[in-house]
Structure 1
């Protein structure tokens, strides 16, 4: 390899110069200017000396490697790059070593500004998340219950105890009331408590207060016969189905009835004892001695839990586990995005092929993930055979598969538009909007939360309760909502992908056009710089660093000049003689 020093804008084309081992050409600086790498060139575009400048053996040296080629030597580096470095000397400065600068280093000014902008924008978006998204969940629990639950009052007794109980509940219409009561004619239900219980299981009402037939007659008989076996809790029954929504029963219904009926029982016992004492004091004394409960608690009640929430692990399946399901689906979305990025396959596939690949990956992935998720619940002894027998587990698996597709396809579709930069904000919104309508019944929430009837998590939870506990069967509706979400996502995913692909194509075309224009500019600059570089190499008065390495053409010109001077001196001597 030979070394020929030329200006920074030397051409990348073949330069026919002699194959000498090494030549160094020097151009002087303008007097009074500091020595900088580019101070010898007064025209940075042409990279040639001004007229009248003489090459001397001083000044900065620019040496470049040339590769031997047929017919001459070729520069190993592009002349266009040299022009760029000449026009922007800052780029030529050496970069700082990694991990060597402090945060307030002057060279990091622009980096600090960019960092601060990103952090401040992220903090602002997080503040919006707090007030715009978290407030959704706070609002769901702010005034529980914001609306009353529906309840039935049925008097199968038809006497003074029935009138006392029904009247007390019917008159409880204040702000503290948790239930909106509907008085049901016992004849319309055939005087059948079993029918009432069935209707509660089928969710015709949240609860029913039933005054059992013969309640007043049993109390009267106990007073007359001094019956020590009298049990007042058989007088009133409260039918509930806890598995329908255990939080509503435990937080709203049970505490309300506990307080209301306890007060009613104490108040009625006081009035009943006063009536007995006013009639016959001996009767009260005898009752206190033989059957005190007749006097102290003539009116009692009992909770009849028709569908108990008696499998604690279902809490993980039905509520907390559903949150984990959303996160798990998000992991699958990220795994697919990372696979497309690392493999580079996304940029090579057509839009149709890319959409098919993404959908197929999700369907296959969620098929197996939903199976493992279902087996996990089975391993912790969740019972799936109460309602549908041995088919219960298969139905549960299908539910998890459709649920993951409904949740995951929505995130996959939105990831196409939001990309990894803003997808976490959608994930947060997706979790909060689903969880807000799952912790308490939608009936007791503000009306704005009625959207929950169409949300995936609510319908998954409803279906889980049907499969495991045997609550009202609405699996057709629940699966229909999930399939609707899947359909919407399958439609929007290709549309979003087409939109983003169109933008990517436009960007690629713009970059290609810019690259072509830059290449054309570089070629133009190279063409301008080449004649000047060749002109420098052919100047006759250029001094070389080593006379032994002088160009043969220059040596030839020097020899011819010396011969002319010698011949002229000889002729002048002859003429003088």
Structure 2
């Protein structure tokens, strides 16, 4: 019985061994693997992938459970060092952001600060021809205006430059102009922001009109005329310049009763009071005539003349991001370095040329008049101006973008803020009303573009066109050279970083292979 049992057991063992041998084979490494005709037999060879699915799933579950069970509180003592390190990093980031916010935004805030105390920097032309006594009538109107402009309240509203009439008449004659035409010329050439002109014999003319009851007499035009050009700075003129002249007019109107009484002091008042027309002329307010030589008529012009200039800077930054993939693809082609650099510069210029066309087209679509100064060529002039402006500010954006990517990418946003604010702060208000620091704006590309745009849309003084185009071209050259230098450095730095990353990846892969080879268990 025992022999039979032993024989049976020995036979079953042989059959099991035979079956096991029949259902297994060796892989290339000598490890045992399972044949396809028996899915129930699994042999562990020392690798995780040799484990049964259920076993692997259990292993993953246990690993997740271990991770969950090993989670600790953020305030655990073991994390003291990490918490301190993170806290210092957060404080450092806040410090960097706070510094740049204070530094950059202070530029714009500073351009607005205490403007009301700088009205005295606004040059105002004053020509008073009512200065002679005629037929016993003293020039009361001219004298009253002269005395008002000498008071502290009036002097705080502008720099009132009262001209010597003899010298000013000689200046007008040299230009073949009348006195008032010369006033218009001086204001148009932007030597003055506005003007006050008191015509010759203004007081006598009013006196005679009152006595004669001449209701056709234009009291306003024959008292004083203020000539100005809103197109020179359409926001500032309406916000600062013209209102200040109107305040001087209000001061003058407070003296009207005294002026009229003085004029009629030696006259037969019964002759005046018995004539209704005389009373009408005498009671007519001596409001001045305000003449706008370059009026602001189209509100759409606010977009391309001011706010659009900000968008112009921003859109050039967008193009830098949009074309980054294409630039990387070209860089991977293996072309010569000089050709790559040339491509980079020319592609940027081409982008500014095309984008500036679409930017200019928006203004044309909304039916802005381009013919006022340059006729039907106005749109081309406007487009080329925008092209140069985009080239100037956009090339700087691309160059500085690469600089900050190399140094510290989060600062790229602050560069954009800085570049916008440093351009618009001295542009959107008269520099005469800002601190002297902001006179740097005369050399900025956006300020130059703004001045050219006003010539295109309002036909303002063209004498500064050459200077402003020269500023734009100079910025284009400077920005292009900077882009060239930075691009070469950028390629070297980023190439070195890519090589270092590849070396690190290869190192990690080699270490992983070494660990895998050490962990293999060979059952062959």
Using structure 2 for the length normalisation, give the TM-score: 0.75
Which of 378, 381, 389 lines up with 1:395 in the alignment? 381
Instruction: Tell me if structure 2 keeps the 8 A contact 1:269–1:295.
Output: no
Offset at 1:258? 1.6
Give the corresponding residue for 2:412.
Answer: 423
Structure-2 change in CA distance of 1:20 and 1:459 (3 Å): closer
Offset at 1:479? 1.6
Offset at 1:332? 0.7
Structure-2 change in CA distance of 1:442 and 1:291 (3 Å): same
Structure-2 change in CA distance of 1:344 and 1:3 (3 Å): farther
Offset at 1:511? 5.4
Q: What is the CA–CA distance in structure 1 between the aligned matches of 2:65 and 2:456, rounded to whole Å?
A: 65
Q: What is the CA–CA distance in structure 2 between the aligned matches of 1:407 and 1:103, rounded to whole Å?
A: 50
Give the corresponding residue for 1:179.
Answer: 158
Give the corresponding residue for 2:230.
Answer: 242
Q: What root-mean-square deviation, in Å, do the aligned CA atoms of Structure 1 and Structure 2 show?
A: 3.9
Instruction: Tell me if structure 2 keeps the 8 A contact 1:277–1:284.
Output: no
Structure-2 change in CA distance of 1:126 and 1:508 (3 Å): closer
- Higher percent of residues as helix: 2
1:434 corresponds to 2:423: yes
Q: What is the CA–CA distance in structure 2 between the aligned matches of 1:298 and 1:158, rounded to whole Å?
A: 21
Which of 232, 245, 261 lines up with 2:219 in the alignment? 232
Q: What is the CA–CA distance in structure 2 between the aligned matches of 1:230 and 1:102, rounded to whole Å?
A: 94
Unmatched runs of 5 consecutive residues or more in structure 1: 5-13, 23-60, 68-91, 538-543, 545-550, 552-577
Give the corresponding residue for 1:575.
Answer: none
Instruction: Tell me if structure 2 keeps the 8 A contact 1:200–1:207.
Output: yes
306-315 or 364-373, which moves further after superposition?
Answer: 364-373
Q: What is the CA–CA distance in structure 2 between the aligned matches of 1:240 and 1:129, rounded to whole Å?
A: 40
1:477 corresponds to 2:467: yes
Structure-2 change in CA distance of 1:524 and 1:266 (3 Å): closer
167-176 or 250-259, which moves further after superposition?
Answer: 167-176
Q: What is the CA–CA distance in structure 2 between the aligned matches of 1:372 and 1:251, rounded to whole Å?
A: 32
Give the corresponding residue for 1:414.
Answer: 400
Which of 133, 139, 161 lines up with 2:110 in the alignment? 139
Instruction: Tell me if structure 1 keeps the 8 A contact 2:207–2:264.
Output: no
1:305 corresponds to 2:288: no
1:276 corresponds to 2:264: yes
Give the corresponding residue for 2:245.
Answer: 257
- 1:295 counterpart SS class: helix
- 2:192 counterpart SS class: coil
Give the corresponding residue for 1:571.
Answer: none
Structure-2 change in CA distance of 1:114 and 1:285 (3 Å): same
Give the corresponding residue for 2:279.
Answer: 292
Give the corresponding residue for 1:168.
Answer: 147
Give the corresponding residue for 1:130.
Answer: 101
1:457 corresponds to 2:440: no
Q: What is the CA–CA distance in structure 1 between the aligned matches of 2:513 and 2:473, rounded to whole Å?
A: 59
Which of 41, 47, 66 lines up with 1:64 in the alignment? 47
Give the corresponding residue for 2:457.
Answer: 468
Structure-2 change in CA distance of 1:115 and 1:314 (3 Å): farther
1:504-562 superposed Cα distances (whole Å, 9 cap, x missing partner) = 344456556667877898899999x69xx9xx97xxxxxx8xxxxxx7xxxxxxxxxxx
- 2:125 counterpart SS class: strand
1:484-495 mapped onto 2 (5 Å cutoff): 484-495=474-485
Offset at 1:314? 0.8
Q: What is the CA–CA distance in structure 1 between the aligned matches of 2:438 and 2:179, rounded to whole Å?
A: 36
Offset at 1:120? 5.2
Structure-2 change in CA distance of 1:346 and 1:177 (3 Å): farther
Q: What is the CA–CA distance in structure 2 between the aligned matches of 1:21 and 1:226, rounded to whole Å?
A: 125
Offset at 1:164? 1.7
- Greater Rg by CA: 1
490-499 or 111-120, which moves further after superposition?
Answer: 111-120
Q: What is the CA–CA distance in structure 2 between the aligned matches of 1:206 and 1:355, rounded to whole Å?
A: 48
Which of 195, 198, 201 lines up with 2:188 in the alignment? 201
Instruction: Tell me if structure 1 keeps the 8 A contact 2:104–2:418.
Output: yes
1:70-85 mapped onto 2 (5 Å cutoff): none
Instruction: Tell me if structure 1 keeps the 8 A contact 2:154–2:248.
Output: no
1:188-224 superposed Cα distances (whole Å, 9 cap, x missing partner) = 2234311221221121211121111332231121133
Structure-2 change in CA distance of 1:262 and 1:294 (3 Å): farther
Q: What is the CA–CA distance in structure 2 between the aligned matches of 1:222 and 1:357, rounded to whole Å?
A: 77
Q: What is the CA–CA distance in structure 2 between the aligned matches of 1:154 and 1:405, rounded to whole Å?
A: 45
Paired residues, number: 456
Instruction: Tell me if structure 1 keeps the 8 A contact 2:194–2:242.
Output: no
Give the corresponding residue for 2:346.
Answer: 360
Structure-2 change in CA distance of 1:3 and 1:166 (3 Å): farther
Give the corresponding residue for 1:82.
Answer: none
Q: What is the CA–CA distance in structure 2 between the aligned matches of 1:522 and 1:65, rounded to whole Å?
A: 15
Q: What is the CA–CA distance in structure 1 between the aligned matches of 2:216 and 2:278, rounded to whole Å?
A: 8
Which of 317, 327, 334 lines up with 2:314 in the alignment? 327
Using structure 1 for the length normalisation, give the TM-score: 0.69
Q: What is the CA–CA distance in structure 2 between the aligned matches of 1:316 and 1:95, rounded to whole Å?
A: 61
Instruction: Tell me if structure 1 keeps the 8 A contact 2:188–2:229.
Output: yes
